[in-house]
Amino acid sequence: MNGMITVNENYDLDTIIPQLKAYTTGKVVEKVTCREKEILKGDGPKVALLDLGAKRNIARSLNERGCEVTIYPALTPAEEILEANPDGIMLSNGPGDPKECTSIIKEIKKLYDSEVPIFAICLGHQLMALATGGDTHKMKYGHRGGNHPVKDLATGRVYISSQNHGYVVDTDTLDPKVAKPAFVNVNDGTNEGLEYVGKNIFTVQFHPEACPGPQDSSYLFDRFIQMMGGNQ
């Protein structure tokens, strides 16, 4: 559902409704991504961060744990990322409708097909699901704020998380041989994370890098480093 604010008291509803139905967010990721590659030096695992509109604290959270982080523009070919031989790949958060990112989804499928460990957040989580045959849909009420409870389905533990999304992965469309739900939103039951079967890949809808915000799930960065063979 789209909406519009107007100061025109004499608006024509028959004209406006088709415009609202036809509106899309467009390729907003291409507008917010970095323009060139950037490297944050570190002595630990080498992480390739695909910037889909990344919050700076994603790179900082990895770099503070010793990782050397190479930040790539969103339209970087998968081949270029893999040729650098990273120890792990990070798919960042970002804006807009994930289905608009058609070319990026194709590149993410190539990253999925590699054997490199992958951790994805928010939009990156949604794009990985789309790249592997899943679907997403727009929520009636998006999740905004820093107090959303999410449940780890493996342990039963609940974490308070920061969230800012209007689209969600539709778990009914997932192939159980490809991915399985890992986190669920306690309030409305929507998906909050996936683990990929037979792959060193996990993704979350919420923001473990939130700053300011709850730090409950920041341990996921340590988990990612362990996946890459690190010591955290």
Catalytic site residues? Answer: 122, 207, 209
Cis bond upstream, residue 212 (ω within 30): yes
| Residue 226: DSSP 8-state | H
Q: How far apart are CA 199 and CA 93, in angstroms?
A: 21
Helix extents (H) in 70-154: 78-83, 102-113, 123-131
* Nearest alpha carbon to residue 209 among 79, 90, 36: 90
Non-local (6+) Cβ contacts of 74 within 8 A are 29, 30, 33, 50, 51, 52, 53, 94, 101, 104
Q: How far apart are CA 38 and CA 166, in angstroms?
A: 29
For the chain, strand residue ranges (E) read 38-40, 46-51, 68-73, 88-91, 118-121, 135-152, 158-170, 179-185, 191-196, 201-204
